[in-house]
Amino acid sequence: MDLGTLHKNIVYKNQGTPYSLTRTITKNGQPDILFHWHTDVELIYVHEGTAQFHIDYDYFNSEAGDIILIRPNALHSIHPIENRRHYMDAINFHLDLMGYSAMDQASIDYLQPLYNGQLDFVHVIKPNQPAYTDIRQCLLDAMKIGYYRTKYFEFQLKAQLNQLFYLLFENGYVISKEQTLEGYRKEEKIRTIIDYISAHYQEELTIDQLAKICGYSDTHFMNFFKKHLGVSCIEYVIQFRLRKAAELLQHSTLPVLEIATQSGFNNLSNFNRQFKKYYQLTPSQYRKK
């Protein structure tokens, strides 16, 4: 499949067919794709390079040719590896696209348990694993259909995704997920904190404030955050704000000072220093590239 013209992400969620296509190229020196979660399934094909993936409590390094599967509501992040470029395409879609809301047997037995976390994907499929060739072709064809959007493509896309899910279930890439009540509560705390930071990143955020949301002491909260998200809470907030700033630099004409303020930085020199640390460019240079 040639999606060489996919220079920007495509979202069609407000046009009656809930899916999006994204192309992501990361390299060392850029902020992580930070821990986040969404109600969509995310299916990824790695074209080139390696990066560290963190999906729920599973860590692994991707390789070219990997197919990566992320269930709805899974916490996940991507961390660039030193001196390595990572290039991937992804399709995200809500299970409604496959009939999740219908009360038929397929939804009850397979889609609803996957959405609710009773079932989970095997997170990565390697080229030497069963049915890899068929699954890869099916995934790339689904992306191609979603990209070109020819007449009646909706039927093709649904059919392709249903075939893909058949292959995943048939070949053992969907498994039962056992989770304790304690594990569930920890995941909920992480989601709550991520959502809070996302909603309030423009404001002053303190460890004490975030710790109280979890009902933890400051020290316990900092240890909890670092253990489960792989970075300190302060580092996470900085990287989150920098990504918001990078988006504004690319897609607006706002002055750098205003972008810094809107992204949660109250000191321009600190913003410039942090931005250059992660992007290897000043904000003005980044805007011009």
- For residue 234, give Cα distances in angstroms to 50, 52, 115, 223, 227: 26, 21, 31, 12, 14
Contact partners, residue 22, CB within 8 Å, separation at least 6: 9, 10, 89, 90, 92
Per-residue pLDDT of the chain (289 residues; tens, 9 = 90+): 455 444 445 555 545 668 999 998 877 656 678 888 899 999 999 999 999 999 988 889 999 999 999 999 999 989 888 778 889 999 999 998 888 777 789 888 999 999 988 999 999 999 999 999 999 999 999 999 999 999 999 999 999 999 999 999 999 999 988 766 677 788 889 999 999 999 999 999 999 999 999 999 999 999 999 988 888 999 999 999 999 999 999 889 999 999 999 999 999 999 999 999 888 889 999 998 7
| Of 77, 88, 74, nearest in space to 38 by CA | 74
- For residue 279, give Cα distances in angstroms to 25, 29, 224, 275: 13, 6, 28, 6
pLDDT of residue 25: 84
Separation CA 94–CA 72 (nearest Å): 8
Any idea of the CA torsion for 234, 236, 237, 239, to the nearest 10 degrees? 120
- For residue 17, give Cα distances in angstroms to 92, 106, 135, 169: 11, 20, 22, 24
Residue 230 one-letter amino acid:
G
Separation CA 72–CA 39 (nearest Å): 5
pLDDT of residue 18: 82
| Of 93, 45, 91, nearest in space to 65 by CA | 45
pLDDT of residue 66: 98
Residue 40 one-letter amino acid:
D
Domain positions in the chain are 10-176, 181-288
Residue 199 one-letter amino acid:
A
CATH of the structural domain 10-176, one choice from 1.10.20.60, 2.60.120.280, 2.30.42.10, 1.10.3720.10: 2.60.120.280
Q: What is 181-288's CATH topology? A: Arc Repressor Mutant, subunit A (1.10.10)
pLDDT of residue 12: 57
Q: What HEC string does 47-100 produce?
A: EEECEEEEECCEEEECCCCCEEEECCCCCEEEEECCCCCEEEEEEEECHHHHCC
Alpha helix (H) residue ranges in the chain: 105-106, 112-116, 132-148, 153-170, 181-200, 207-214, 218-229, 233-251, 256-262, 268-279, 283-288
